[in-house]
Every structure is written in structure tokens, then in C-alpha cells.
Amino acid sequence: MKKSILVLCTLLIFSCSPSKVQELSEQEPNDSVEQVHYSLRIGTMQENKNVVELSFDSMKEQWEAYLARVSDITTNLSIFQIEQNNEGFYQLTGISDDQKTKTAIRLYLEGGVFYEAVDKISVTCTSSDSGCYPKIIPGGGSCIESKNESACTKTSSIAEDNRIFR
């Protein structure tokens, strides 16, 4: 009996190789567990400062590809910042080099680490000048126009696979 339990335990240990474990941890959330964020770290809060940790090139490439795929928006994002808006939501904001396009997604803060939200909409605001700002709000987002600036155009992006960063 002890030998069969030992053999069974050995089989279980070796059947779940490290690559399998990694594959399982990188899968999308399933319906049986309600997950509010993905496991990839976007940034951290350090001494009351929000710090983006994901590499600039990776973030730029993936977010621009997402916007092009789901919204037909072509832009050159050059600034990324984590901020808390006046609604109390944390958001990751991407700003184009000419500052005429700004896009945002909701982030979750857990244990001092920021994660991309599972249930989210990407809100992108464009204008002919730099006076248009995305704001994450309950159920989506909005574009806020600053005084004496031109009108904003809001685009909300929802994709079958909402995940931007991998």
C-alpha cells in the first residue's frame, strides 16, 4: 500500500513539469473563479509615488497594437503614467507624442502592486490640441475637456480578449 502511494505521488510530481505550471499560471481567468485583474505587474506604489515597471517598449508596442486592432486608432504613444483620478480609480494613461491622443485603462492596486483589470474598457480621447483627458469611471470612461480647448472625440474599445499586456 505504501509503495503504491509513493508511486502515485512520484507520478503526480513529475507529470506537472515547471513549463506546465508556468502555462497554467499564464492562462486567462476562467469562469469558475471571479478574477478582477491579470497577474502581470504593471507598476508599484513606492513612497506614495506610482511607478510604471513594465518596459516602455513592450508597453508601447502592445498598447498601440491593441488600439489599432480593436478601434482602428493609429498613434505614437510616448508617455505612460499611473494616476488616481478624482473618482478614486487608478488608471494607466498613455499619451501620444503630440499629446492630441490620450488613452486610459483601469488598474487595480493590491499589496502595493498595480495590475491590469480584467473587466475593463479602454477609453481613448482625441482632439485637435492637447486639452482632452480620459477618465475611468464606473462602467467605463469619459473624456474631460479642459477650458478653452477644442471638443474631444471619445472611443471606447472592447475586444473579445480584453487583455492588453502579456
CB-facing half-sphere around the CA of 136: CA atoms within 13 A: 23
pLDDT digits (tens, 9 = 90+) for 97-121: 999 999 999 888 999 999 988 776 7
The residues, ordered by sequence, that sit 6+ positions from 106 with a Cβ below 8 Å of its Cβ are: 89, 90, 91, 117, 120, 136
pLDDT digits (tens, 9 = 90+) for 28-42: 444 434 577 788 899
SS3 77: strand
Q: Which pLDDT does position 1 carry in this prediction?
A: 47
Strands 37-46 and 49-52: antiparallel
CB-facing half-sphere around the CA of 143: CA atoms within 13 A: 22
Going 71 to 74 to 80 to 86, the CA torsion angle's sign is: negative
Q: Which pLDDT does position 102 carry in this prediction?
A: 93
Say if residue 79's pLDDT is above 70. Answer: yes
